[in-house]
Chains A and B, each alone.
Chain A
């Protein structure tokens, strides 16, 4: 397969990387190793670590950081930005619709079954219109590139996408280690993100809040793999990081326990999943949530970001209909393409996929983190057959996509520098405005030839640059 190399066009260097070439090619090995060690020490001291679910092992594992940045030029970014914002608007319009009258279903543009029988569709939210009609406030959109002007959306994350702390820290560490690079390249800043996030949350204060809203971040606790990110964001935003036990409901409002007594909370940026939010409404055995929170939310006493039930918009089965949402709600043509997707509950698609398993990527509809998927071309015959049996047992649990020719970006490896596959997750904020900082998290598959960029599967991260004009 032929892969688009983001830096090199044959022997020539593409424009955005022009100033990086010399830096890369003249860097002595020992200097590089020294800097790599320095970066790792910095990460560890700051405390950015990542615990992988269900693996045990070192709870203080680091996500590998690659010093070679990934670069977009201004024009490329503008187009991506328009596409991402468009998609974010459509996804929120969809959520508002399906928790209201469901016009898109009535119009026959999306099968009712996919919406209303979806595990992520939350009955308790029906009829509730949150402040500004926005349900998903932080949307992470995973994008891959296959050619100069070919970008595809791989998936949407409308619940609680993580990784933004890496975007910020990667930049911080690059600026600390290589200040001269930032003098010779004009790079758009990303460090306004926490401020934008705080402003977005404040713009979502509930109807019953009359003063400047108090925002908090709700974390499942310090054993969660993304705890560092929760605490990092709370710090930069200047808001409290709370656990369920810190909050309680009294009368019509939600309060946090402080050293000076109860303090009312208006906006909760929650990083815990729907079923754990409120034992009175969802899982009765949840110890992470706040009893009575949903009643307060549903009566306009507190805002929850993202709204419970927002996940129905980022389901892999719903994903195939996002271009349709853009047309239906916005009357526009989608700027960003989806990846062609076969849905295995359709007979024709099922037949095609079963005949071509070896060439396709198959994913679980509700899976995430790179688990429960088959990458046909990288799998053995035995692995393919094992997976085939799983599909046959429950076809509607799977979708399939062609194996994408993910672009590559030069990456520091043991032998020097070599191309590795990358994707991009920008973070779109939706409140009174829709905003996006110029950049995102670039994930890189560090194993040679690998197309799986997830950090739980041996992926690393890179700083992502958008050059100013």
Chain B
């Protein structure tokens, strides 16, 4: 698919801020499923800082805004060709040993219910790939899509108990279950063109990747009960949502922050 993406994040502050420092993970990954033609990042009033590819293969770009400013806009414009690799992250250069992704974090820490679910699903699985698919289906079944009931710090255990949540909660829960099954797993952030039934999907998206012996990293999207295909654009990964966040930033100044995000992913004519 040929996709055009525009993504704007606007931060508004009630008092002016100075020395804003951001670390952006906002550039598409390089692998067989993606070819980027044009990609521009711009931060209003900002100076482009260091840019480099990290051990996980993500392109990281630092920006600083000296200020004082009351508003900062982070704007992305780009065009990208995608194709379906059945969720397999083929041709992605990375150096980090997968075992590193067996370590857990606060939001993906297991509790009794997660352990029970992992054990239950694990009992009938034939191999790792089968197990990963089963775990992803189990998460799709256990957590209904419902915006507004969970928040940024909701843990996998809490989302499972609640039975409702958004893509972040689905991904965290799948990651927790995979790690309990001794499969390395990580959080992926990116964009999604439309949901499986063709309905327009207007937000940034997130899913999970699980490391399968012999196959490598494979994506699973329990929120949409599928594996990522040509409608998905992969940006970067991390041990959980906070580590994989496309934008991380800190500013000097005591100010309340208001956030507005607009993402458009549209298909271009052939």
Residues of A near any B CB (own CB < 8 A): 100-102, 105, 112-113, 115-117, 119, 121, 123-128, 248-252, 279-281, 284, 291-292, 294-296, 298-299, 301
Q: Which residues of B contact A251 (CB under 8 A)?
A: 47-49, 64
State how many angstroms separate the Cβ of A42 from the closest Cβ of chain B: 42
A301 to B49, CA, bound (A): 10
Report how far A115 CA is from B96 CA in the complex, Å. Answer: 12
Bound CA span A284–B55, Å: 21
The verdict on B163 contacting chain A, using a C-beta distance below 8 Å, is: no
Taking the closest CB of chain B, its distance from the CB of A263, in whole angstroms, is: 15
**New A-B contacts (4) at CB < 8 Å, excluding given A124-B55, A248-B21:** A116-B97, A123-B239, A249-B21, A295-B49
Shortest B72–chain A CB gap in Å is: 14
Among candidates A112, A117, A119, A295, residue contacting B23 with C-beta atoms closer than 8 Å? A295
* Residues of B close to A123: CB separation below 8 A: 55-56, 96, 100, 239
Contact B250 A279, beta carbon cutoff 8 Å: yes
Q: Chain B residues with Cβ under 8 A from A301's Cβ? A: 50
Contact call B62/A295, Cβ cutoff below 8 A: yes
Docked-complex contact B99 and A249, CB < 8 angstroms: no
Q: How far is the CA of A335 from the CA of B102 in the complex (A)?
A: 36
Least distance between B111 CB and chain A CB atoms (Å): 18
Complex Cα spacing A295 to B60, Å: 8
Which chain B residues lie closer than 8 Å to A113 at the CB level?
99
Q: Which residues of A contact B252 (CB under 8 A)?
A: 248
**Contact for A125 among B50, B51, B52, B55, CB less than 8 A:** B55
From the candidates B96, B239, B248, name the one contacting A280 in the complex (CB within 8 A): B248
CB distance from B236 to the nearest CB of A (A): 13
Asked whether any CB of chain A lies closer than 8 Å to the CB of B260, the reply is no
B21–A121 CB distance below 8 A: no
Taking a contact as CB atoms closer than 8 A, the residue among A102, A279, A292 that contacts B62 in the complex is A292
- Contact status B23-A281, CB under 8 Å: yes
Q: Does B32 contact A (CB under 8 A)?
A: no
| A294 to B: closest C-beta gap in Å | 8
Q: Are A248 and B50 touching (Cβ within 8 A)? A: no
The A interface is mostly helix, strand or loop, or mixed, namely: loop
Best-surrounded residue of A112, A249, A292, A294 (most CB of chain B within 10 A): A292
What 0/1 pattern do residues 54 to 71 of B give for CB contact below 8 A with A? Answer: 111000101010100000
The main secondary structure of chain B at its interface with chain A is strand
CB contacts (< 8 Å) of A128 on chain B: these are 55
Return B218 CB to nearest CB of chain A, in Å. Answer: 20
Assembled-state Cα–Cα distance A126/B19 (Å): 28
Bound form: Cα–Cα A401–B68 in Å: 58
Q: By CB atoms of chain A within 10 A, which of B22, B53, B248 has the most?
A: B248
Find the B residue at minimum CB distance from A289.
Answer: B250
Contact of B113 with A by CB under 8 A = no
**Which chain A positions have C-beta within 8 A of B255?**
none
Decide: B97 and A298 in contact? CB cutoff 8 A: no
Q: How near does chain B come to A120, taking the closest CB pair, in angstroms?
A: 11
Q: Is the CB of B50 within 8 A of A299?
A: yes
Interchain Cβ contacts under 8 Å between A and B, 8 examples: A117-B103, A119-B103, A124-B55, A127-B95, A128-B55, A280-B22, A292-B64, A296-B50
- B44 CB–A CB distance under 8 Å: no
Which chain B residues lie closer than 8 Å to A116 at the CB level?
97, 99-100, 102
Say if the beta carbon of B242 comes within 8 Å of chain A: yes
Tell me which residues across on chain B come within 8 A of A284, comparing CB atoms: 242, 248
Q: Identify the interface centre among A113, A248, A301: most chain B CB within 10 Å of its CB.
A: A248
**CB of B135 to closest CB in A, whole Å:** 20
Contact of B55 among A112, A115, A127 (CB under 8 A): A127
Decide: A299 and B52 in contact? CB cutoff 8 A.
yes
Candidates B23, B66, B96, B97; contact of A292 at CB < 8 Å: B23
Residues of B within 8 A of A112 (CB): 97, 99
* Shortest Cβ distance from residue B189 to the other chain A in the assembled complex, whole angstroms: 16
Residues of B within 8 A of A249 (CB): 21, 49, 62, 64
Which residues of A are found within 8 Å of B250, using beta-carbon distances? 279-280, 291-292
Residue from B60, B95, B97, B239 with most neighbouring chain A CB atoms (10 Å): B97
